[in-house]
Amino acid sequence: GGGNGTALSLLVKAFPWIRGINFDLPHVVAVAPKSGSIENVGGDMFMSIPNADAAFLMWILHDWDDEECIKILKKCREAIPEDKGKVIIVEAVLEEDKEDDELGFVGLMLDMAMMAHTDKGKERTLKEWSYVLRQSGFTRFTVNPIRAVQSVIEAYP
């Protein structure tokens, strides 16, 4: 789900020692800009994901229901090394107690956008993220809130 590689190119620019693989459907990466430190690879994330030290998924998993999300995460799990690999997910983590959530209305807006965008996707709470990650074979994960609607979730084998 790397699209035209914009997010990955920003990461590689900020951390020039890494090499990136922009992975998306073949027709999408066919028109992605070429870069010396980014390889554009076409494929289907439900079939396989290129091997890497880390998989980076930003605004991808909320497009899918739990079953499909677990399939994608299992493919990510297969693609990373057992000893040092991780999956980095940038997605919203909704508060379960809406009354204490200052940004609860944003979660509602995100859910409404998902209803218009897809018939299967959804935003997830921490409990729901824990479920899909554990079902995908990840033994531990951390959630790091950032100064945005999204959080950074790091999942480890």
Residue 113 reports pLDDT greater than 80 = no
Q: How far apart are the first and last CA of the chain?
A: 21
Percent of the chain's residues with pLDDT above 90: 75
- Please report the domains of the chain, with CATH numbers, ordered by start residue: 1-43 (no CATH), 51-156 (3.40.50.150)
Q: Residue 26 is encoded by which pair of tokens?
A: 């073949």
Is 62 annotated as catalytic?
yes
One-letter amino acid at 96 equals: E
For residue range 22-80, list pLDDT tens digits in order: 999 999 999 999 988 999 999 999 999 999 999 999 999 999 999 999 999 999 999 99
Q: Residue 7 is encoded by which pair of tokens?
A: 């997010």
Q: Residue 106 is encoded by which pair of tokens?
A: 């944003």
Instruction: Count CA atoms within 13 Å of residue 36 on its CB side.
Output: 3
The one catalytic residue in 2, 60, 62, 136 is: 62
Query: Taking Cα atoms as reference points, which of 32, 22, 137 lies closest to residue 76?
Result: 137
Torsion of CA 109, 110, 111, 115, to 10 degrees: 100
Looking at the whole model, is its pTM more than 0.85? Answer: yes
